Amino acid sequence: MATLREHSKILYSANTNTPSFEQINTGSLQRIADAVEKMASSWDGLIRDRDYYKRRFNERTDEAKRLAHSNAALRGYIKRMKARP
């Protein structure tokens, strides 16, 4: 016996032994629920990826600022050393 999901996929004609409208509707609702769950899992993955890349971007931006500041400080120190008699 086919499940309600499978029955909801079949195109029936008027003269066949068909399940009731409620059974077909229940199967189609189950298929819709399955599709929504699948979309939700994809959405969670996208959110997780977005958070990861945002965190990595912020870490790299902070590191770049720190290195630029360190570089400027070292250039100033070298300039003062060259100016010494």
pLDDT for residue 84: 86
How does residue 22 score in pLDDT terms, banded at 50, 70 and 90?
confident
Q: What is this structure's pTM?
A: 0.51
Q: Report the pLDDT averaged over residues 5-9.
A: 62
Give the number of other CB atoms < 10 A from CB of residue 27. Answer: 20
**Using CA atoms, how far apart are residues 28 and 20, in angstroms rounded to an integer?**
13
Asked if residue 77 has pLDDT above 90, the reply is: yes
pLDDT for residue 16: 58
**Using CA atoms, how far apart are residues 66 and 3, in angstroms rounded to an integer?**
62
pLDDT for residue 26: 76
pLDDT tens profile 27-73: 778 888 888 888 888 888 899 999 999 999 999 999 999 999 999 99
